[in-house]
Amino acid sequence: MAATLRIQSDWSRALSKDEGEAWLSCRSPGILDTAIVDRGRNVLSCSRDGTARLWDCGKSACLGVIADCGSPVNGIAAGTADNSLNLGTPEKPPSEREVGTEGKILLLAREDKKLQGVGLQSRQPVFLFVGSDAFNCCTFLSSTYILAGTQDGNIYHLDVRNTNAPIQVIHRSGAPVLSLLPYRDGFIASQGDGTCFIVQQDLDYVLDLTEADCDPVYKVASWEKEIYTCCRDGIVRRYQLSD
């Protein structure tokens, strides 16, 4: 079965004529997450077959498999790596269609309880961290610090330069951590029990947007002072934050 990924460059045209888009297709099970590289000429996807792939939007073509984990990859994130990190060397020169991958690291949140870092251009492994349960999502706080959430409710705060032990493990409930988003000096997290909260001020202050006993909040996005959440009840909610 082929998995498809739709890239839309002009939503106004898409709504009326289904134009301004690219369809990316590969023979693999369903795509679970995506990430944009640099300005968007390339995108990344991960799927249930355990692969993370790099795509060329202009030609609707796969530029290569970045990682093949042998276990479903539930979430990915791409970011600029700290200068002290050794990302490895590519085995062959990158394609001229590959743009903005140099100096970047790809995070892979894996079903087999592992969080993996891979050099985006080199395709070489950088680190492998074993958590308490399946990893569902991951994100960058900076070029040095990352977050990853697990099925049993743990949020791991890690330093990519040394992943032998987490800096901090945040646990508010046993519900799966479904989404993580960097926000100002902290981050936003959502969980399978309906909770959605903002952690600020050196990861020490928590502001709850929603509490437990609700439908799972699958994804969180932000725009300036506004927070958007999508939930299993079919509603996209908008929260206006003060200073």
The mean per-residue pLDDT over the stretch 163-179 comes to: 96
Q: What is the pLDDT of residues 131-165, one digit of tens each?
A: 999 999 999 999 999 999 999 999 999 999 999 99
Check if CATH label 3.40.1190.20 holds for domain 3-171: no
What burial letters (b/e) apply to 70-81, b meaning 16+ CB within 10 Å? ebbbbbbbbbeb
Length of the chain in residues, anyone?
A: 243
Q: Token digits for 136?
A: 């569902």
At residue 27, does pLDDT exceed 60?
Answer: no
Q: Given this model, what pLDDT does residue 15 score?
A: 44
At residue 231, does pLDDT exceed 80?
Answer: yes
Q: Token digits for 215?
A: 């439908």
Domain spans of the chain, in order of start: 3-171, 184-243
Q: What is the pLDDT of residues 113-122, one digit of tens each?
A: 999 999 999 9
Percent above pLDDT 90 for the chain:
76
Cα dihedral 92, 98, 99, 102 sign:
negative
The answer to whether 21 and 14 have CB atoms below 8 angstroms apart is yes
Percent above pLDDT 70 for the chain:
87
Strands 145-150 and 135-140: antiparallel
Q: Provide the 10 A C-beta neighbour count for residue 31.
A: 18
Confidence of residue 58 (pLDDT cuts 50, 70, 90): confident
Q: Provide the 10 A C-beta neighbour count for residue 66.
A: 23
DSSP state of 31: E
Q: Given this model, what pLDDT does residue 202 score?
A: 73
